[in-house]
């Protein structure tokens, strides 16, 4: 990293009068910009030569960590397998230059692709129709819940305004329900980490006629397969509610079982997680919503046009390149990899729910609590060894959650390397706890004070150009 040499901000590298590029002479005459919209002073722009600019941004980009640079075991919101062929297809000019306002007869190929993708998703999920308008998983949840709300209203069932959400649910579930104007009823997890049926029955008995839906994730956010979906669906349907499935991470289910067959009525899929598309920092995403026959009439208007087409292209390419037979391996391989890591580390990391997991699992920090080394410290120390940290302090069921998801496509050597480093950190925690507590040591920026950053964020930069010159 040449940050010291090249400066952190391009403004710090500026030298008055330096140029990287000169524009050709203006042969078109001057256009007079109205005085009231002209700036009074020149814009403060950095003045740099070309190589300085190129090196500055190249060095910055080298500080980025992604699936192309290293192992990324982030649970739940995983960056899964992003085959390069998908990027190739999505960047074909014929797709890239499409415009949403083009005459319909010139985009029939694109429309056909959406229909073919819809067919594939229906086959994989057991549902009847999909809308592709939502731009993310959370947007899909909102769309799905609005569909459910519209359905109840169309029947004059106006009092159904409560949604049951398990305490292990992804935070977007209760948030989407609240945005939709619905009230959240939390159902507890049992000691095995699954929905507590006794608590659920109590809620259904108390609130039956007010229940609009129950939202579930399966495998749930602890990476555990909810075994009682048919009973749960029966309970909810009997009281007049609908079953919502959060299919953000559908990969462990692909080709193995289908939400539609389990009794779910409405679901969303995160195409950007389950069916590739590199994402992060807020996008790009696609959260298509699928429904049982008849419910499609109740889809709300949530966005114009057809959603995020380039994400659909990648999803369809991913599905076609795997094919009906290969897609069945995604779930078992993701499950095998997660269990391999879990079993290899459970003697040094606390495993609160010791069963076979699905595509991800949760440790509750280091087993030896006497060292004072926390999950945060372990996550920071992993950065020193060149790994992205797992998801930490989520789910909220444990104090020191460390949630690991290796995904299906990582080799045994990669997993062994990660296991060795996790064991080494456990060893360090015992012998030299300060080393772990003060990590990271090898990254461009050391341990940041995240409380201070959250309480007193500094979002502006004091220009020091003149002092530098």
Ligand X SMILES: *Cc1c(COP(=O)(O)O)cnc(C)c1O
Distances (CA, A) of 349 to 221, 258, 364, 468: 19, 33, 7, 50
Q: Which of 13, 89, 138, 216 binds ligand X (CB under 6 A)?
A: 138
Task: Provide the CA 186 distance to its chain's centre, in angstroms.
Answer: 23
> Which span sits near ligand X by CB under 6 A: 12-20, 97-105, 242-250, 320-328?
242-250
Tell me the closest approach of the beta carbon of residue 277 to ligand X, in angstroms: 10
DSSP string, 127-192: -SEEE----SHHHHHHHHHHHHHHHHHHTT-TT--EEEEETTS-THHHHHHHHTTPEEEEE-B-TT
89: helix, strand or coil: helix
Q: Do residues 218 and 226 lie in contact, with contact meaning Cβ atoms separated by under 8 Å?
A: yes
Output 217 or 374, the one with its CB closest to ligand X.
217
Q: Is the CB of 77 or the CB of 214 nearer to ligand X?
A: 77
Those residues whose C-beta lies under 8 Å from the C-beta of residue 258, and which sit 6 or more positions away, are: 124, 125, 126
Asked if 76 is part of the footprint of ligand X (rule: CB under 6 A), the reply reads yes
Q: What are phi and psi of 195, to 5 degrees?
A: -60, 130
| Tokens coding 228 | 């009682």
Closest approach of ligand X to the CB of residue 134, in Å: 9
Task: Please report how close the Cβ of residue 245 comes to ligand X at its closest, in angstroms.
Answer: 10
CB-based contacts of 85, cutoff 8 Å, min separation 6: 317, 321
Residue 118: name the closest of 134, 133, 132, 100 by CA.
132
Q: At closest approach, how far in Å is the CB of 137 from ligand X?
A: 2
Binding of residue 277 to ligand X (CB under 6 A): no
In whole angstroms, how close is the CB of 378 to ligand X at the nearest point?
22
Tokens describing residue 144: 């799905």
Shortest Cβ distance from residue 352 to ligand X (Å)?
Answer: 20
**Residue number with CB closer to ligand X (137 or 174):** 137
Q: With CB under 6 A, what is the number of residues at the site for ligand X?
A: 14
Considering only residues 78 through 137, tell me which ones interact with ligand X, judged by CB under 6 A.
136-137
Stretch that binds ligand X, among 192-200, 246-254, 441-449, 455-463 (CB under 6 A): 246-254
Q: Considering only residues 131, 147, 251, 270, which one is a binding residue for ligand X as defined by CB under 6 A?
A: 270
Taking the complex as a whole, how short is the minimal distance between the CB of residue 132 and ligand X, in angstroms? 14
Among 13, 77, 262, 302, binds ligand X (CB under 6 A): 77
Choice between 52 and 220, CB closer to ligand X? 220
**Segment 161 to 220, residues that bind ligand X, using CB under 6 A:** 170, 172, 217
Contacts within 8 Å (CB) and 24+ apart, 172-176 = 172/137, 172/138, 172/141, 173/141, 173/215, 173/217, 173/246, 175/138, 176/138, 176/141, 176/142, 176/145
CA–CA distance from 401 to each of 67, 95, 178, 366, 376 (Å)? 23, 42, 26, 10, 10
Q: Which of 14, 168, 249, 407 binds ligand X (CB under 6 A)?
A: 249
Report in angstroms how near the CB of residue 241 gets to ligand X at its nearest.
Answer: 20
Question: Least distance in Å: CB of 172 to ligand X?
Answer: 4
Residues with Cβ within 8 Å of 174's Cβ and at least 6 positions away in sequence, in order, are 165, 184, 186
Please say which residue, 244 or 385, places its beta carbon nearer to ligand X: 244
Q: Which positions from 321 through 350 interact with ligand X, judged by CB under 6 A? A: none
Binding to ligand X by residue 440, rule CB under 6 A? no
Residues in contact with ligand X by the rule CB under 6 A = 76-77, 136-138, 170, 172, 217, 246, 248-249, 270, 285, 287
């Amino acid at each position: 990293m040449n940050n010291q040499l090249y400066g952190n901000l391009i403004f710090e590298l500026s030298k008055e009068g330096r140029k990287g590029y000169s524009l050709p002479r203006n042969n078109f005459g001057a256009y007079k910009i109205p005085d009231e919209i002209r700036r009074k002073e020149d814009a403060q722009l950095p003045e740099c030569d070309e190589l300085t600019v190129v090196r500055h941004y190249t060095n910055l980009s080298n500080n980025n960590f992604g699936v192309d640079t290293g192992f990324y075991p982030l649970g739940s919101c995983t960056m899964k397998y992003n085959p390069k062929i998908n990027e190739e297809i999505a960047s074909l000019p014929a797709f890239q230059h499409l415009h949403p306002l083009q005459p319909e007869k010139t985009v029939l190929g694109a429309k056909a692709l959406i229909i073919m993708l819809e067919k594939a998703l229906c086959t994989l999920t057991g549902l009847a129709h999909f809308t592709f308008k939502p731009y993310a998983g959370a947007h899909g949840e909102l769309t799905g819940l609005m569909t459910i709300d519209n359905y109840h209203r169309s029947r004059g069932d106006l009092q159904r305004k409560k949604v049951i959400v398990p305490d292990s649910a992804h935070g977007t579930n209760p948030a989407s329900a609240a945005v939709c104007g619905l009230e959240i009823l939390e159902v507890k997890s049992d000691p095995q980490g699954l929905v507590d049926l006794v608590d659920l029955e109590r809620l259904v008995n108390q609130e039956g006629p007010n229940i609009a839906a129950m939202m579930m994730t399966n495998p749930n956010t602890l990476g555990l397969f909810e075994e009682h979906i048919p009973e749960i669906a029966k309970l909810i349907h009997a009281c007049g509610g609908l079953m919502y499935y959060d299919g953000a991470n559908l990969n462990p289910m692909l080709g193995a079982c289908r939400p539609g067959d389990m009794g779910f009525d409405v679901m969303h899929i995160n195409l950007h997680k389950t069916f590739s598309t590199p994402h992060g920092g807020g996008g790009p995403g696609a959260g298509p919503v699928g429904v049982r026959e008849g419910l499609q009439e109740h889809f709300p208007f949530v966005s114009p046009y057809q959603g995020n087409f380039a994400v659909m292209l990648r999803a369809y390419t991913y599905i076609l390149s795997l094919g009906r037979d290969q897609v069945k391996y995604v779930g078992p391989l993701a499950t095998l990899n997660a269990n391999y890591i879990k079993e290899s580390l459970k003697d040094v990391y606390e495993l609160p729910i010791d069963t076979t997991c699905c595509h991800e699992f949760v440790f509750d920090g280091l087993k030896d609590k006497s060292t004072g080394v926390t999950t945060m410290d372990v996550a920071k120390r992993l950065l020193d060894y060149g790994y992205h940290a797992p998801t930490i302090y989520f789910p909220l069921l444990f104090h020191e959650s460390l949630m690991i998801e290796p995904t299906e496509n990582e080799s045994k050597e990669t997993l062994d390397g990660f296991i060795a480093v996790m064991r080494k950190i456990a060893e360090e925690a015992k012998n030299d706890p300060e080393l772990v507590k003060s990590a990271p040591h090898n990254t461009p920026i050391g341990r940041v004070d995240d409380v201070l950053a959250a309480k007193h964020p500094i979002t502006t930069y004091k220009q020091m150009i003149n002092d530098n010159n």
